[in-house]
Every structure is written in C-alpha cells, then in structure tokens.
Structure 1
C-alpha cells in the first residue's frame, strides 16, 4: 500500500475527503517523526510502539577497493508490534 492508497482508505473509513484525510495522514507521520527526533517513544495501543535506537560507530570496508572506512554513529527508528497487531496478522 502506498501513500495514495492509505489516504483513500482513511478517507473511506472516516467519511472525510481525500484532501482532509491526506492532511491527517501527513500530520500523524510528522508528529511521530518529531517525537522520535526529540527522543520520545510513541505507543499506539493495539498497534505497536516506535522508539529510537543508537547505533555505535563501527569499522566497515569499501566493497570496491577493500579499504577500511569508519561508519559514523547514527540513530535508527525501531518499531515493535503490539499483541493486538500480531493477533490480527495471525488470524
């Protein structure tokens, strides 16, 4: 499902126009991203939780030349599915 299909499904479920549903979908993802950037965890009951994990700097190799390179430390978004979502997926 891509963004347009998600917006159409939200519009059908809520009775909103596609334009209003698109604004709502964009706002939801923006709020989640801003909360994660601030270091907060976002929990959605019966769906799951979003959190941020730190990745340490590490040494890697350039696949073309084989020379060693340093891969910088970074942050990574993580998602953990809730029991309700797992139950829905597994019937």
Structure 2
C-alpha cells in the first residue's frame, strides 16, 4: 500500500495542476477545507464531483463494551462524519 499524500505534496501537485504558485494553491486548499468543515459541522453535506459526498450523521444512544474489562456502559448520542465515495472514483480505482 502506498503512503498517503502529505499536505505539502498535495499543495505542490495542486499548484502544478493549476499552473500557479504553491502559496495560492495552499490558500485554495485551506479555503476548500474550511468551507467543507463549516458546512458539515452545521449539519449540511458537501458533494465533491467525481470524489464523493461528505456528511454528518447522528448516532443514537447505545450500549457499548469496554474490550479490556468487558464492562458494559451507556454511550451518549453523538455525531459522526461519513463519506460516500462516488461511482466514478470507484470505477477508476477498480480498473
């Protein structure tokens, strides 16, 4: 399995793809990340065409077990961020 691309590598690749400098590419990446964070934390969803959909889902209160002790306890309701991968990306990965 290949190592994940770091932010520095992503900014450099984005700058090359956009034919601009790394500072502008880094600012664009930060702006997109901030918009996604703001929208999803507010209960909305963001669709990245060709990549997937990022959204927040609420999980109900439930019983969980401590694997070390086997003790069961009630975990409060919480929210979790999910991502559904686009069919185009799945197809390009699978050949």
TM-score in same-fold range (> 0.5): yes
Q: Distance in 2 between matches of 1:66 and 1:48?
A: 37
Taking a change above 3 Å as real, the CA distance of residues 63 and 47 of structure 1, as seen in their structure-2 partners, is closer
Q: Distance in 2 between matches of 1:17 and 1:71?
A: 47
Aligned partner of 2:64 in structure 1 is: 60
Taking a change above 3 Å as real, the CA distance of residues 87 and 67 of structure 1, as seen in their structure-2 partners, is closer
Normalised by the length of structure 1, the TM-score is 0.85
- Aligned positions, number: 91
Q: Deviations over 1:57-87 (max 9, x none)?
A: 2222334444333222111111111121112
Cα RMSD, aligned residues only: 1.5
Unaligned runs of 5+ in 1: none
Q: Distance in 2 between matches of 1:84 and 1:62?
A: 39
Taking a change above 3 Å as real, the CA distance of residues 25 and 67 of structure 1, as seen in their structure-2 partners, is same
Taking a change above 3 Å as real, the CA distance of residues 65 and 9 of structure 1, as seen in their structure-2 partners, is same
Normalised by the length of structure 2, the TM-score is 0.82
Unaligned runs of 5+ in 2: none
Q: Distance in 2 between matches of 1:2 and 1:23?
A: 16
One of 6, 9, 18 as aligned partner of 1:5 = 9
